[in-house]
Structure 1
Amino acid sequence: MASINLTSDQVKFESSPNDTILQASLKQGVNHVHACGGHGFCSTCRIYIENGLEGLSERNEKEERLASQLGLTPEIRLACQTKAQGDITARRLVLDDVDQRLILQHGESKKPRSLGKEKEASVLFVDIADYTAFTEQTPAYDVVHILNRYFFIAGNIIKENDGRIIDYYGDGFLAIFGLNDNKNHAANLIKAGFALQDAIDRFDHDIHALVDREFKIRLGAHTGKVIWGTIGIEGMEKEAAIGDTVNFASRIEQANKDLNTKFLISENLYKQFDQWCTISGSYDIKAKGKEGIHKVFALDRMLAPMPPA
């Protein structure tokens, strides 16, 4: 007999080797959702294994099919297809009608949906300096035209350096490096940041025929762990990176305005590249949502050679 501890329900019980976790759970009176009747078609019985993954049966064909379709990580198992051969601690992931509707809705889509993975990545926020004044003093058509040219140039530079723009927010964007598990994500971000500055300097010169004002950008970057997953309802979902690393990178970018700097990076990032980059200064900042004082560095220029891509 195996011991099953369901932390989501605060219940612990024994399971026969012949019973699936779902069957054992239902015998204990747990309201364990299983919309398809426990036949491995819907995944509403999914559980997250907190401890004891090695004590579970291997995924069978039904579970393997759904796991592949939905992008389920090894820690997420179908209770209706999994048997416990050793003690486990787990929690149910579908707890009420809203959860059930959400899971069933996602199951209707053929498009794989990331359920949330922790990744080592580098995060870059970029925005346009004095954007409000730029839009107020520029005709609407020219605003859209200039922004499209700006995002085209920036997007290609990000892509060339193995990054990915995952969000636009009016005057700026959020780019992530490392989503494809490239270990050189931090170096790629630094190279992309300098390339962006050079390209936008040229762009600023080119658009003076359209607008009589400077077009400059501000960059902020940090590196660390991010949570990568899909959020939103069917038809309006998007892939997103969340977590402290993303939040802190945003705060660093915002600090440019007060410090009158252009390209700020965190201490964690700078320590990796101090021998390849010169700085124009270092600063202590407070970051909303984080305790204490944090040191950031204003990058000036890149020295050769940089780490290989």
Structure 2
Amino acid sequence: MNMRVPPGEETLPARARWRRWVDSTSVQRTLRLWSGTFIFVFLFMHLANHALGVFGLAVLDVVQTWRWALWNNAVGLSLLYGAFAVHVLLGLWRIAGRKTFRIPLDEALQIASGLIIPFFLLPHIIGTRVAMTWEGQGHGFYGPVLAALWSKKALWQSFLVTLAWFHGVLGLYITFRHRPWFPRFRPFGEAIAIGLPLLALAGFIAGGREALHLQVAFPMSPQAMHNMLQLEFTLQLAYLGLGLLGLLLIVVLNIQFLRRKFGARLTITYRGRGPVKVPRGTSILESSRIHGIPHPAVCRGKGRCSTCRIQILSDLDGLPEPNTVERATLDRIGAPPNVRLACQVQPDRDVSVSILVPLLGRAQDSETSAEAERWAAEREVTILVVDVRAFEVLVGAQQPYELSALVNRLALELEQAVHNHSGVVSSFEGDHLVAFFDAERPRLGARHAVACVKDIARLLKTLNREMGGALPLPVRVGIGIHSGRVTLARVGEIEARSRLMAFGEIVRSAVALQDATKSMLTDCIISKTTARLAQLDRANLRSVTIDVEGLDVPIAAYAVSDLKAIKVGARQDVAEAETP
């Protein structure tokens, strides 16, 4: 295996480098992720097979035959059992190595469910897989198994299915929720996460009742009685082994506690909070949790996000080099050498740090994903920028009351048009409005923005008709629309008094498109990206290119002279636009 040697380790013996590589957090995390994903795929297929029980035992057995052909062989069983062993052992290793159990609720639920699953899983494995192996059955049909489970352990089996599925779904959610593509696939994932176990339980109930109805009671043979006693004995041995493993975990945790209490300690000094003492080998994020110091970490300390980053205020020489995961994240955000991820840095000596990303919201738990998404997230959105033309002329000759009436009416109408099409007003400053349309599907968000433009055209016509006599000239606007990835951040001390605002290159580009409407003497400029997403009818639109300061490539767009003339694609295009 070709291992990349980190800086500073060239002088280490090969055996020491190999041990450090195996013990590294990134390798353990990768093995946990892939082993857990492999088990989740098996569980997904198992529950899908159960769901077919609503169609009868015959269908269950047909699909079971195909599934066993895939899994019940040397390769499939080796991979499955190997993945299970790796996932369990690395999970226990991670629990044993924790410096604190002050962790977010979802992470605590994941650990608790993972510890409970083996207790419910052992009877299922021994009663099915082990029993069929002893009886020489190469294939397990559902009838006898369902009849036994339905008559004796229906609730036990149902709880096992629910618990195992919950653990897997929660693990995938914690792992991938911070990825940019996650919001787009979240509705589909939620439908599967909720629907599949319900269908599996329905299939289990239907199949179990049918199997119990068809079951014929026969006197138990001496061999069958012997096998049953052997299974009971095997189950007791398995529970004994599980208990010993749990006892070993408790012993290790107590040893870790004693080491933390009486072992070598170092001082971490937080700017603005002072020094704290922690055991050597504690990460800075764990130190923050131990001492109750607010420290955001959206990815739960896995090094995949950068919200826990810190600035090292003391000497850098004594700190370990960034591992592979940390280095990739730091390179992605362009961090300077004195910026590190608190979840990955385990200082060997005293260090002074400053938390760079503040805790958002007063009296809020920023480590819940819902809270983090309410305060900051990346999204694929469509940006709409509206600027009122000749605003100074419009308001210059107005009396204070007339000015207030005009501005409030204009703000009310524009904001209502945005809200009517599922948009959010990012900012409004008298004559300038920025809004974004953040649908789960980017195409739908683009269509909402275009529909909002048509509403703005109608409201301007109404406004000029009703207030035209009091205005020196009609109210006109310039509009720029562009689509792409932006950062949505909530600005304000507490959520109730904050405003969700959009930031990024796409916002600047939309503003530039709006500015270009003045020089091109047109009402609206829509980028070709938005036009394509919205299935815009481009037959009568003028193609233009707009130079944006800071961008090497100009933006291709369409100039729209009449807002009321904007047309989206034909009705058959709507379904296409609403699919991801």
TM norm structure 2: 0.40
The residue type equivalent to 1:19 in the other structure is G
Deviations 1:203-244 (Å, cap 9, x if unpaired)? 112211211211111111001111112235458743221111
SS of equivalent to 1:46: coil
Aligned 8 A contact 1:49 1:88 in 2: no
Task: Point out where structure 2 has 5 or more consecutive residues left out of the alignment.
Answer: 1-21, 27-92, 101-255, 261-277, 309-322, 327-340, 346-351
Deviation at 1:117, TM superposition (A): 1.6
Question: Does residue 44 in structure 1 map to residue 44 in structure 2?
Answer: no
Structure-2 separation of matches of 1:154 and 1:45: 36
Aligned to 1:92: 342
Question: Kindly tell me: are residues 26 and 124 of structure 1, through their superposed partners in 2, closer, same or farther at Cα, counting changes over 3 Å?
Answer: farther
The residue type equivalent to 1:292 in the other structure is V
Please identify which structure carries the higher strand content.
Answer: 1
Aligned 8 A contact 1:225 1:245 in 2: yes
Question: Does residue 20 in structure 1 map to residue 41 in structure 2?
Answer: no
Deviation at 1:253, TM superposition (A): 0.8
Aligned to 1:83: none
Give the alignment partner of residue 3 of structure 1, picking from 16, 24, 28. Answer: 24
Aligned 8 A contact 1:33 1:45 in 2: no
Aligned 8 A contact 1:279 1:298 in 2: no
SS of equivalent to 1:290: coil
After alignment, is 188-197 or 298-307 more displaced? 298-307
Aligned 8 A contact 2:296 2:307 in 1: no
Question: Kindly tell me: are residues 98 and 46 of structure 1, through their superposed partners in 2, closer, same or farther at Cα, counting changes over 3 Å?
Answer: closer
Question: Kindly tell me: are residues 249 and 279 of structure 1, through their superposed partners in 2, closer, same or farther at Cα, counting changes over 3 Å?
Answer: farther
Question: Number of paired residues?
Answer: 267
SS of equivalent to 2:24: strand
SS of equivalent to 1:283: strand
Structure-2 separation of matches of 1:249 and 1:229: 18
Aligned 8 A contact 1:50 1:89 in 2: no
Structure-2 separation of matches of 1:76 and 1:292: 31
Structure-2 separation of matches of 1:107 and 1:3: 36
Deviation at 1:120, TM superposition (A): 1.2
Structure-1 separation of matches of 2:430 and 2:24: 53
Aligned 8 A contact 2:426 2:436 in 1: yes
Deviation at 1:162, TM superposition (A): 1.5
Aligned 8 A contact 2:284 2:342 in 1: no
- Return the structure number with greater relative CO, CA threshold 8 A, min gap 6: 1
Aligned to 1:217: 477
Aligned to 1:56: none
Aligned 8 A contact 1:48 1:92 in 2: no
Structure-1 separation of matches of 2:462 and 2:298: 53
Aligned to 2:363: 108
Deviations 1:55-79 (Å, cap 9, x if unpaired)? xxxxxxxxxxxxxxxxxx9x979xx
Give the alignment partner of residue 552 of structure 2, picking from 286, 291, 297. Answer: 291
Aligned to 2:501: 240
Question: Does residue 282 in structure 1 map to residue 536 in structure 2?
Answer: no
SS of equivalent to 2:447: helix
TM alignment of 1:189-268, pairs within 5 A: 189-233=449-493, 237-268=498-529
Aligned to 1:119: 379
Question: Kindly tell me: are residues 274 and 230 of structure 1, through their superposed partners in 2, closer, same or farther at Cα, counting changes over 3 Å?
Answer: closer
After alignment, is 257-266 or 225-234 more displaced? 225-234
Aligned 8 A contact 1:26 1:32 in 2: no
Deviation at 1:248, TM superposition (A): 0.8
Deviation at 1:170, TM superposition (A): 2.3
Aligned 8 A contact 2:380 2:442 in 1: no
Aligned to 1:13: none
Structure-1 separation of matches of 2:300 and 2:324: 7
Identity of paired residues, percent? Answer: 14
Deviation at 1:191, TM superposition (A): 1.0
Aligned to 1:303: 567
Aligned 8 A contact 2:382 2:445 in 1: yes
Is the radius of gyration larger for structure 1 or structure 2?
2
Structure-1 separation of matches of 2:403 and 2:539: 34
Deviations 1:88-117 (Å, cap 9, x if unpaired)? 8242389945648x32x7352489463422
Structure-2 separation of matches of 1:248 and 1:268: 12
| Runs of 4+ deviating beyond 6 Å | 21-25, 49-53
The residue type equivalent to 1:303 in the other structure is K
Deviation at 1:202, TM superposition (A): 2.2
TM norm structure 1: 0.71
Aligned 8 A contact 2:444 2:534 in 1: no
RMSD of aligned C-alpha atoms? Answer: 3.8
Structure-1 separation of matches of 2:289 and 2:362: 12
The residue type equivalent to 2:486 in the other structure is V
